[in-house]
Structure 1
Amino acid sequence: MEALFTSTALVALAEIGDKTQLLAIVLATRFKRPWPIIAGIFVATIANHFLAALAGSQVAALLDGLWFRYLVAGSFIAMALWTLVPDKLDDVEDKPARFGAFLTTVVAFFLVEMGDKTQIATVALGARFHDVIAVTMGTTIGMMIANVPAVFLGQALIRRVPLGVVRMIAAGLFLVIGLWLLAQTAGWL
Protein backbone atom coordinates (compact mmCIF):
# COMPACT_ATOMS: atom_id res chain seq x y z
CA MET A 1 0.00 0.00 0.00
CA GLU A 2 2.92 2.34 0.68
CA ALA A 3 4.02 2.06 -2.95
CA LEU A 4 0.50 2.87 -4.18
CA PHE A 5 -0.07 5.85 -1.89
CA THR A 6 3.42 7.31 -2.29
CA SER A 7 3.27 6.96 -6.08
CA THR A 8 -0.16 8.56 -6.23
CA ALA A 9 0.76 11.54 -4.05
CA LEU A 10 4.10 12.24 -5.69
CA VAL A 11 2.84 12.09 -9.25
CA ALA A 12 -0.39 14.01 -8.56
CA LEU A 13 1.61 16.88 -7.11
CA ALA A 14 4.48 16.69 -9.61
CA GLU A 15 2.01 16.75 -12.51
CA ILE A 16 0.54 20.14 -11.53
CA GLY A 17 1.81 22.59 -14.14
CA ASP A 18 3.70 19.83 -15.97
CA LYS A 19 3.78 19.84 -19.77
CA THR A 20 1.43 16.84 -19.96
CA GLN A 21 -1.12 18.73 -17.86
CA LEU A 22 -0.75 21.68 -20.20
CA LEU A 23 -1.21 19.24 -23.10
CA ALA A 24 -4.47 18.03 -21.49
CA ILE A 25 -5.72 21.62 -21.45
CA VAL A 26 -4.70 22.19 -25.07
CA LEU A 27 -6.43 18.97 -26.18
CA ALA A 28 -9.58 19.80 -24.22
CA THR A 29 -9.66 23.24 -25.80
CA ARG A 30 -9.10 21.83 -29.28
CA PHE A 31 -11.49 18.86 -29.22
CA LYS A 32 -14.10 20.00 -26.67
CA ARG A 33 -14.81 16.31 -25.93
CA PRO A 34 -13.51 15.48 -22.43
CA TRP A 35 -14.25 11.75 -22.19
CA PRO A 36 -12.15 10.55 -25.15
CA ILE A 37 -9.31 12.77 -23.91
CA ILE A 38 -9.55 11.36 -20.39
CA ALA A 39 -9.62 7.80 -21.78
CA GLY A 40 -6.58 8.61 -23.93
CA ILE A 41 -4.67 10.00 -20.94
CA PHE A 42 -5.52 6.85 -18.97
CA VAL A 43 -4.36 4.43 -21.70
CA ALA A 44 -1.17 6.37 -22.46
CA THR A 45 -0.27 6.70 -18.78
CA ILE A 46 -0.78 3.01 -18.03
CA ALA A 47 1.42 2.01 -20.98
CA ASN A 48 4.14 4.58 -20.32
CA HIS A 49 4.27 4.21 -16.55
CA PHE A 50 4.09 0.42 -16.60
CA LEU A 51 7.21 0.38 -18.79
CA ALA A 52 8.89 2.97 -16.57
CA ALA A 53 8.07 1.13 -13.32
CA LEU A 54 9.18 -2.16 -14.88
CA ALA A 55 12.47 -0.60 -15.98
CA GLY A 56 13.07 0.84 -12.52
CA SER A 57 12.21 -2.42 -10.79
CA GLN A 58 14.36 -4.54 -13.12
CA VAL A 59 17.35 -2.24 -12.92
CA ALA A 60 17.04 -2.18 -9.12
CA ALA A 61 16.86 -5.98 -9.00
CA LEU A 62 20.00 -6.27 -11.12
CA LEU A 63 21.94 -3.53 -9.37
CA ASP A 64 20.83 -3.98 -5.78
CA GLY A 65 24.03 -2.74 -4.22
CA LEU A 66 24.73 0.00 -1.73
CA TRP A 67 25.88 2.44 -4.41
CA PHE A 68 22.64 1.87 -6.37
CA ARG A 69 20.55 2.70 -3.29
CA TYR A 70 22.52 5.95 -2.97
CA LEU A 71 21.80 6.61 -6.66
CA VAL A 72 18.04 6.10 -6.15
CA ALA A 73 18.11 8.43 -3.12
CA GLY A 74 20.03 11.00 -5.17
CA SER A 75 17.51 10.71 -8.00
CA PHE A 76 14.67 11.65 -5.63
CA ILE A 77 16.66 14.66 -4.43
CA ALA A 78 17.33 15.64 -8.06
CA MET A 79 13.60 15.26 -8.78
CA ALA A 80 12.92 17.70 -5.93
CA LEU A 81 15.06 20.31 -7.69
CA TRP A 82 13.62 19.55 -11.15
CA THR A 83 10.07 19.88 -9.81
CA LEU A 84 10.77 23.53 -8.96
CA VAL A 85 11.39 24.32 -12.65
CA PRO A 86 8.13 25.26 -14.43
CA ASP A 87 7.29 23.48 -17.66
CA LYS A 88 6.22 25.07 -20.91
CA LEU A 89 4.34 23.37 -23.69
CA ASP A 90 6.01 24.49 -26.88
CA ASP A 91 5.91 21.27 -28.92
CA VAL A 92 2.18 21.25 -29.66
CA GLU A 93 1.34 22.27 -33.18
CA ASP A 94 -1.95 24.02 -33.90
CA LYS A 95 -3.06 21.92 -36.87
CA PRO A 96 -6.10 19.69 -37.12
CA ALA A 97 -5.75 16.18 -35.75
CA ARG A 98 -6.14 13.30 -38.20
CA PHE A 99 -7.10 10.58 -35.74
CA GLY A 100 -9.70 12.06 -33.38
CA ALA A 101 -9.55 13.00 -29.72
CA PHE A 102 -8.80 9.55 -28.23
CA LEU A 103 -6.00 8.38 -30.52
CA THR A 104 -4.45 11.84 -30.70
CA THR A 105 -4.41 11.97 -26.90
CA VAL A 106 -2.92 8.48 -26.52
CA VAL A 107 -0.09 9.17 -28.95
CA ALA A 108 0.58 12.73 -27.77
CA PHE A 109 0.56 11.83 -24.07
CA PHE A 110 2.73 8.76 -24.51
CA LEU A 111 5.33 10.71 -26.47
CA VAL A 112 5.28 13.88 -24.36
CA GLU A 113 5.62 11.80 -21.18
CA MET A 114 8.88 10.24 -22.47
CA GLY A 115 11.70 11.62 -20.34
CA ASP A 116 9.25 13.80 -18.39
CA LYS A 117 9.74 14.23 -14.66
CA THR A 118 6.73 12.06 -13.82
CA GLN A 119 8.12 9.24 -15.97
CA ILE A 120 11.54 9.57 -14.34
CA ALA A 121 9.82 9.61 -10.94
CA THR A 122 8.00 6.41 -11.93
CA VAL A 123 11.33 4.75 -12.76
CA ALA A 124 12.69 5.82 -9.36
CA LEU A 125 9.53 4.64 -7.59
CA GLY A 126 9.78 1.28 -9.39
CA ALA A 127 13.39 1.00 -8.22
CA ARG A 128 12.46 2.00 -4.68
CA PHE A 129 9.43 -0.26 -4.16
CA HIS A 130 10.07 -3.20 -6.57
CA ASP A 131 6.29 -3.37 -7.11
CA VAL A 132 5.49 -2.63 -10.76
CA ILE A 133 1.72 -3.01 -10.42
CA ALA A 134 1.31 -0.82 -7.30
CA VAL A 135 3.62 1.86 -8.70
CA THR A 136 1.87 1.84 -12.08
CA MET A 137 -1.53 2.03 -10.40
CA GLY A 138 -0.38 4.82 -8.10
CA THR A 139 1.27 6.92 -10.77
CA THR A 140 -1.71 6.44 -13.09
CA ILE A 141 -4.12 7.52 -10.34
CA GLY A 142 -1.86 10.51 -9.65
CA MET A 143 -1.88 11.49 -13.33
CA MET A 144 -5.66 11.19 -13.44
CA ILE A 145 -6.10 13.25 -10.25
CA ALA A 146 -4.05 16.05 -11.80
CA ASN A 147 -5.26 15.83 -15.40
CA VAL A 148 -9.00 15.11 -15.25
CA PRO A 149 -9.76 18.48 -13.62
CA ALA A 150 -7.46 20.11 -16.18
CA VAL A 151 -9.51 18.59 -19.00
CA PHE A 152 -12.80 19.80 -17.54
CA LEU A 153 -11.72 23.15 -16.13
CA GLY A 154 -8.87 23.99 -18.48
CA GLN A 155 -7.57 27.53 -18.42
CA ALA A 156 -9.72 28.60 -15.44
CA LEU A 157 -7.92 26.03 -13.27
CA ILE A 158 -4.47 27.21 -14.32
CA ARG A 159 -5.34 30.81 -13.39
CA ARG A 160 -6.59 29.84 -9.89
CA VAL A 161 -4.10 27.19 -8.71
CA PRO A 162 -0.95 28.66 -7.14
CA LEU A 163 1.49 26.53 -9.14
CA GLY A 164 4.50 27.80 -7.20
CA VAL A 165 3.08 26.48 -3.93
CA VAL A 166 2.17 23.14 -5.49
CA ARG A 167 5.67 22.83 -6.97
CA MET A 168 7.20 23.56 -3.54
CA ILE A 169 5.04 20.87 -1.88
CA ALA A 170 5.90 18.31 -4.58
CA ALA A 171 9.60 19.22 -4.36
CA GLY A 172 9.41 18.85 -0.56
CA LEU A 173 7.92 15.35 -0.89
CA PHE A 174 10.63 14.27 -3.34
CA LEU A 175 13.30 15.74 -1.04
CA VAL A 176 11.91 14.02 2.08
CA ILE A 177 11.82 10.63 0.32
CA GLY A 178 15.34 11.15 -1.07
CA LEU A 179 16.75 12.15 2.31
CA TRP A 180 14.93 9.31 4.02
CA LEU A 181 16.38 6.78 1.53
CA LEU A 182 19.80 8.35 1.95
CA ALA A 183 19.60 8.08 5.75
CA GLN A 184 18.28 4.52 5.53
CA THR A 185 21.06 3.46 3.13
CA ALA A 186 23.73 5.11 5.31
CA GLY A 187 22.37 3.23 8.33
CA TRP A 188 21.22 6.33 10.20
CA LEU A 189 17.67 4.97 10.59
Structure 2
Amino acid sequence: MLKDTWYFDCQCTRCVDNQEHILTSIKCPSCSEILSIFGEQPYKDPVTQVIICPKCLTTCSKESVFEAVNAMRFIDEVLEKDELSSMNNETARIFLQELLERFTPFLSHTNVYLCRILQALIPRIDPEEHETLLQYHLNALDCMKVCYPHNHPALAFHLMNIGIFYTRLKRDEDARNYLTQSQNMLDFALGKDHPMSCANRAELEKVQGV
Protein backbone atom coordinates (compact mmCIF):
# COMPACT_ATOMS: atom_id res chain seq x y z
CA MET A 1 0.00 0.00 0.00
CA LEU A 2 2.91 2.34 0.74
CA LYS A 3 4.46 1.36 -2.57
CA ASP A 4 1.30 2.30 -4.46
CA THR A 5 0.83 5.59 -2.61
CA TRP A 6 4.32 6.87 -1.77
CA TYR A 7 6.44 4.78 -4.17
CA PHE A 8 8.81 3.15 -1.68
CA ASP A 9 9.19 -0.13 0.20
CA CYS A 10 9.32 0.43 3.95
CA GLN A 11 12.12 -1.45 5.68
CA CYS A 12 11.22 -0.69 9.30
CA THR A 13 11.35 -3.53 11.83
CA ARG A 14 7.61 -4.18 11.76
CA CYS A 15 7.25 -4.05 7.99
CA VAL A 16 10.04 -6.56 7.37
CA ASP A 17 8.73 -8.93 10.08
CA ASN A 18 6.58 -11.44 8.22
CA GLN A 19 4.46 -12.13 11.29
CA GLU A 20 3.32 -8.50 11.39
CA HIS A 21 1.40 -8.97 8.13
CA ILE A 22 -1.35 -10.59 10.17
CA LEU A 23 -2.42 -7.01 10.93
CA THR A 24 -3.61 -6.67 7.32
CA SER A 25 -4.96 -10.20 7.00
CA ILE A 26 -8.21 -11.41 5.48
CA LYS A 27 -10.53 -14.37 6.05
CA CYS A 28 -10.59 -17.34 3.73
CA PRO A 29 -13.90 -16.98 1.84
CA SER A 30 -14.72 -20.63 2.53
CA CYS A 31 -13.56 -21.46 6.06
CA SER A 32 -12.63 -18.05 7.59
CA GLU A 33 -9.01 -19.10 8.17
CA ILE A 34 -6.78 -16.05 8.75
CA LEU A 35 -4.64 -15.36 5.68
CA SER A 36 -1.92 -12.72 5.36
CA ILE A 37 -2.03 -11.20 1.89
CA PHE A 38 1.30 -9.33 2.13
CA GLY A 39 4.81 -10.65 2.67
CA GLU A 40 6.19 -14.12 2.03
CA GLN A 41 3.72 -16.76 3.15
CA PRO A 42 3.95 -20.55 2.74
CA TYR A 43 0.46 -20.60 1.20
CA LYS A 44 1.22 -17.79 -1.27
CA ASP A 45 2.80 -18.49 -4.66
CA PRO A 46 5.97 -16.33 -4.85
CA VAL A 47 5.55 -15.79 -8.60
CA THR A 48 1.81 -15.49 -9.21
CA GLN A 49 1.02 -14.20 -5.68
CA VAL A 50 -2.02 -16.49 -5.65
CA ILE A 51 -3.14 -17.40 -2.11
CA ILE A 52 -4.39 -20.90 -1.36
CA CYS A 53 -5.90 -21.48 2.06
CA PRO A 54 -3.78 -24.09 3.90
CA LYS A 55 -6.83 -25.31 5.83
CA CYS A 56 -9.47 -25.90 3.12
CA LEU A 57 -7.34 -25.42 -0.04
CA THR A 58 -9.65 -22.74 -1.41
CA THR A 59 -7.96 -20.39 -3.88
CA CYS A 60 -8.55 -16.75 -2.98
CA SER A 61 -9.41 -14.80 -6.08
CA LYS A 62 -7.45 -11.69 -6.97
CA GLU A 63 -10.76 -9.83 -6.85
CA SER A 64 -11.27 -10.79 -3.19
CA VAL A 65 -7.75 -9.64 -2.31
CA PHE A 66 -8.25 -6.33 -4.14
CA GLU A 67 -11.57 -5.90 -2.34
CA ALA A 68 -9.79 -6.27 1.01
CA VAL A 69 -7.01 -3.84 0.07
CA ASN A 70 -9.52 -1.27 -1.15
CA ALA A 71 -11.52 -1.71 2.07
CA MET A 72 -8.43 -0.99 4.18
CA ARG A 73 -7.63 2.07 2.10
CA PHE A 74 -11.19 3.30 2.46
CA ILE A 75 -11.18 2.84 6.25
CA ASP A 76 -7.84 4.61 6.49
CA GLU A 77 -9.07 7.52 4.40
CA VAL A 78 -12.28 7.94 6.42
CA LEU A 79 -10.45 7.92 9.74
CA GLU A 80 -7.45 10.00 8.64
CA LYS A 81 -9.69 12.71 7.19
CA ASP A 82 -11.64 12.67 10.46
CA GLU A 83 -14.95 12.68 8.61
CA LEU A 84 -16.62 11.45 11.81
CA SER A 85 -16.07 14.82 13.51
CA SER A 86 -18.64 16.43 11.22
CA MET A 87 -21.32 13.91 12.28
CA ASN A 88 -23.39 13.88 15.44
CA ASN A 89 -22.84 10.92 17.76
CA GLU A 90 -25.81 8.86 16.55
CA THR A 91 -25.00 9.36 12.86
CA ALA A 92 -21.35 8.43 13.45
CA ARG A 93 -22.37 5.34 15.43
CA ILE A 94 -24.67 4.10 12.67
CA PHE A 95 -22.06 4.84 10.01
CA LEU A 96 -19.33 2.92 11.90
CA GLN A 97 -21.62 -0.02 12.63
CA GLU A 98 -22.49 -0.21 8.94
CA LEU A 99 -18.77 -0.23 8.08
CA LEU A 100 -18.22 -2.98 10.62
CA GLU A 101 -21.03 -5.05 9.17
CA ARG A 102 -19.76 -4.45 5.64
CA PHE A 103 -16.11 -5.39 6.23
CA THR A 104 -16.25 -8.05 8.97
CA PRO A 105 -17.19 -10.83 6.51
CA PHE A 106 -13.79 -10.68 4.78
CA LEU A 107 -11.33 -8.79 7.02
CA SER A 108 -9.95 -10.94 9.86
CA HIS A 109 -10.40 -10.12 13.55
CA THR A 110 -6.66 -9.41 13.74
CA ASN A 111 -6.89 -6.81 10.96
CA VAL A 112 -5.82 -3.45 12.37
CA TYR A 113 -8.18 -1.51 10.09
CA LEU A 114 -11.17 -3.42 11.41
CA CYS A 115 -9.85 -2.78 14.92
CA ARG A 116 -9.65 0.95 14.17
CA ILE A 117 -13.36 0.93 13.31
CA LEU A 118 -14.05 -0.72 16.67
CA GLN A 119 -11.88 1.83 18.49
CA ALA A 120 -13.78 4.69 16.86
CA LEU A 121 -17.13 3.02 17.55
CA ILE A 122 -16.71 2.07 21.22
CA PRO A 123 -16.80 5.66 22.63
CA ARG A 124 -20.04 6.26 20.72
CA ILE A 125 -21.92 3.36 22.34
CA ASP A 126 -24.24 3.98 25.30
CA PRO A 127 -22.25 3.02 28.45
CA GLU A 128 -25.24 0.96 29.60
CA GLU A 129 -25.03 -1.33 26.55
CA HIS A 130 -22.72 -3.73 28.37
CA GLU A 131 -23.25 -6.69 26.04
CA THR A 132 -22.46 -4.66 22.92
CA LEU A 133 -19.42 -3.02 24.49
CA LEU A 134 -18.14 -6.37 25.73
CA GLN A 135 -18.43 -7.90 22.28
CA TYR A 136 -16.64 -4.99 20.60
CA HIS A 137 -13.81 -5.15 23.16
CA LEU A 138 -13.47 -8.91 22.66
CA ASN A 139 -13.45 -8.47 18.88
CA ALA A 140 -10.56 -5.99 19.13
CA LEU A 141 -8.50 -8.02 21.61
CA ASP A 142 -6.57 -10.30 19.24
CA CYS A 143 -5.44 -7.35 17.14
CA MET A 144 -4.34 -5.44 20.23
CA LYS A 145 -2.30 -8.44 21.41
CA VAL A 146 -0.35 -8.22 18.15
CA CYS A 147 0.03 -4.43 18.27
CA TYR A 148 1.14 -4.10 21.91
CA PRO A 149 3.83 -5.87 23.95
CA HIS A 150 2.50 -8.32 26.53
CA ASN A 151 2.61 -6.02 29.58
CA HIS A 152 1.67 -2.76 27.84
CA PRO A 153 -0.71 -0.59 29.95
CA ALA A 154 -3.04 -0.05 26.98
CA LEU A 155 -3.55 -3.80 26.68
CA ALA A 156 -4.03 -4.10 30.44
CA PHE A 157 -6.64 -1.30 30.36
CA HIS A 158 -8.47 -3.08 27.54
CA LEU A 159 -8.52 -6.32 29.56
CA MET A 160 -9.76 -4.41 32.60
CA ASN A 161 -12.68 -3.03 30.59
CA ILE A 162 -13.56 -6.53 29.41
CA GLY A 163 -13.51 -7.69 33.02
CA ILE A 164 -15.75 -4.79 34.10
CA PHE A 165 -18.30 -5.54 31.37
CA TYR A 166 -18.38 -9.19 32.46
CA THR A 167 -18.94 -7.98 36.02
CA ARG A 168 -21.85 -5.81 34.93
CA LEU A 169 -23.34 -8.85 33.17
CA LYS A 170 -22.87 -10.91 36.37
CA ARG A 171 -20.46 -13.34 34.72
CA ASP A 172 -18.04 -13.35 37.62
CA GLU A 173 -15.81 -16.22 36.50
CA ASP A 174 -15.07 -14.54 33.16
CA ALA A 175 -14.62 -11.23 34.97
CA ARG A 176 -12.04 -12.74 37.34
CA ASN A 177 -10.10 -14.17 34.41
CA TYR A 178 -9.69 -10.86 32.56
CA LEU A 179 -9.26 -8.71 35.66
CA THR A 180 -6.52 -11.04 36.92
CA GLN A 181 -4.69 -10.80 33.58
CA SER A 182 -4.99 -7.03 33.73
CA GLN A 183 -3.81 -6.89 37.35
CA ASN A 184 -0.67 -8.88 36.61
CA MET A 185 0.20 -6.58 33.71
CA LEU A 186 -0.52 -3.37 35.61
CA ASP A 187 1.45 -4.43 38.69
CA PHE A 188 4.41 -5.27 36.46
CA ALA A 189 4.27 -2.21 34.17
CA LEU A 190 3.02 0.53 36.49
CA GLY A 191 3.48 -0.79 39.99
CA LYS A 192 0.96 -1.97 42.58
CA ASP A 193 0.29 1.54 43.89
CA HIS A 194 -0.54 3.15 40.56
CA PRO A 195 -4.14 4.50 40.40
CA MET A 196 -4.98 2.20 37.49
CA SER A 197 -3.61 -0.84 39.36
CA CYS A 198 -5.66 0.13 42.41
CA ALA A 199 -8.81 0.64 40.34
CA ASN A 200 -8.44 -2.77 38.70
CA ARG A 201 -7.74 -4.42 42.08
CA ALA A 202 -10.94 -2.92 43.46
CA GLU A 203 -12.94 -4.44 40.59
CA LEU A 204 -11.18 -7.77 41.04
CA GLU A 205 -11.94 -7.83 44.77
CA LYS A 206 -15.64 -7.31 44.02
CA VAL A 207 -15.88 -10.50 41.97
CA GLN A 208 -13.68 -12.40 44.42
CA GLY A 209 -15.99 -11.46 47.25
CA VAL A 210 -13.19 -9.80 49.23
Same fold, judged at TM 0.5 (above):
no
TM normalised by structure 2 equals: 0.23
Bigger fraction of residues in helix: 1
Using the size of structure 1 for normalisation, the TM-score is: 0.25
